[in-house]
Structure 1
Amino acid sequence: MPPRTPSSSPSASASSSSSSPSPCASAPSRAALVAVLRAAGCVFAEDEAELILGTARTPAEAAAMAERRAAGLPLEHVVGWAEFHGLRITVESGVFVPRRRTEFLVDQALAAVPHASVVVDLCCGSGAVGAALAASLGPVELHSADIDEAAVRCARRNVAGYGGHAYVGDLFTALPGRLRGRIDLLAANVPYVPSGEVPLLPTEARDHEPLTALDGGGDGLDVLRRVAAEAPHWLAPGGCLLVETSERQAPAAVEVFTRSGLTARLVEDEELYAHVVVGTRRSGVR
């Protein structure tokens, strides 16, 4: 999963506030909230104030939200949701916040297997990727899994509307065995920050998101290797595995996919600075 960057906050656009719960009616004023947020160093103080005002049910709640944000909590944890691929995703405190660049992974998955019927979201966090895929694909059999119990609680709420299931467990061990050889689309937003670089992450990520969602081991590819090694046994013929990685790690990630028996290719989006490896199961692999 990608590190947080200043450009990823706020994750919900100003347009999203129009569909949020009834705005609080009076004080504190927008200017007062902006002042609190700006004094705390929030780069997007004006936009964040709008989101807080659009989400809070009372003036007191708006003021409390601004104080929590000023204390360093991620905006998404403060308001309780994040915008992702046009959806409002519930995000509890302590749960990994879906990044806007990961929308590129969703788009590539939809392009790779536009008629997928069995979809799995590994390292699902809040379940944002699975929910976005189901919302675009229509009726699918959706399964999500994560090792973090708080994340899975969120995921269950976010995928419920699509008839999805969410499980607590370590990668494929969390999934029902009946999915082996049946998965059309396997999205795995694995942690890919090298262990030695985790202390360099922005405070919002380092202090408020689970380490398991960030730390990818010595070179950042430990979890990716485990997923790629098992994926061919779980994918249906022609099924695809998609994993997000960094520009620096991309060549090694492609090699890992190839060694695991997948036909691999790298796709990039320069504007989002997103890099996704797409692996297709070769015929004959079981």
Structure 2
Amino acid sequence: MKTTNQTSVSEFTLLGLTDDPEMQPLIFSLFLSMYMVTIVGNLLIILAVSSDSHLHTPMYFFLSGLSFTDIFISTTTIPKMLMNIQVQTHNITYTGCLSQVCFVLIFGGLESCVLAVMAYDRYVAICHPLRYTVIMNPCFCRLLILLSILITTANALLHSLMLLRLSFCRDLEIPHFFCELVQVMKMACSDTFVNNLLIYTVTSVFAGVPLSGIIFSYIQIISSILRIPTVGGRYKAFSTCGSHLSVVSLFYGTAFGVYMSSAVTDSSTKNIVASMMYIVVPQMLNPFIYSLRNKEMKGALCHLILRL
């Protein structure tokens, strides 16, 4: 197949979920509903935390950061797909595609880091309660979020710059509803060995370190909870971690599902569905998980809605 230099590439084609015209209105309605629920739900979480002084604690500060991340990662992918369905086109510019790759990596990585930071916060609260306010002071909390942003941005820029060195073929059809890094690399005609090596190396470190931190934190948390003499005390201690543990399971479970499905099958439909479960569904469900399982959050949301 004849190749062209990457500087002459003007646009890619996103094939989306299906090419059946009769299915397009259904897909548009489904994704628009999911996007609106994601935006409204996460905005309510942010407003509830900022308006209730009782929620001005490290745990809810990190929860607000998670909600911001969910809003941005959904906005990076879904609106472009909805616009393509509405105007009956599948095109995305070369610059737009690389930008989408970069922002998905930034906010996807940031979500992983924020979940790890939240696990550390719960570890300090349960295992070192007397030193909690000293360790998790506002300055340290902001520093953790800032470091997470810097690390994820550096990682995303590294992968995006490595994409710029590739030459692409003529048939630039991406079997996806957004520009995913691996799918874009499959369109390249030049050697992608360095890119693939970088993906496996950085992803192993980048996903492994936060996940290891979460696992270590929960091993310590469970160990401390089991030493609590009363059943009521154990339940109260573990209930503060229930929502976070549910979100972690949802996020990492769907993320591993994406990579497992891409490893076992080449089916583009299955890969798209797996990616949707990773990039769309957790962001929509996170506000429900935290609001339904948390009495303080439910109270703050009720007060906010009544005020509005």
TM-score computed with the length of structure 2 as normaliser: 0.24
Q: Which has the higher helix share?
A: 2
Higher relative CO (CA 8 A, sep ≥ 6), structure 1 or 2?
Answer: 2
- CA radius of gyration, larger in: 2
Q: Which has the higher strand share?
A: 1
TM-score computed with the length of structure 1 as normaliser: 0.26
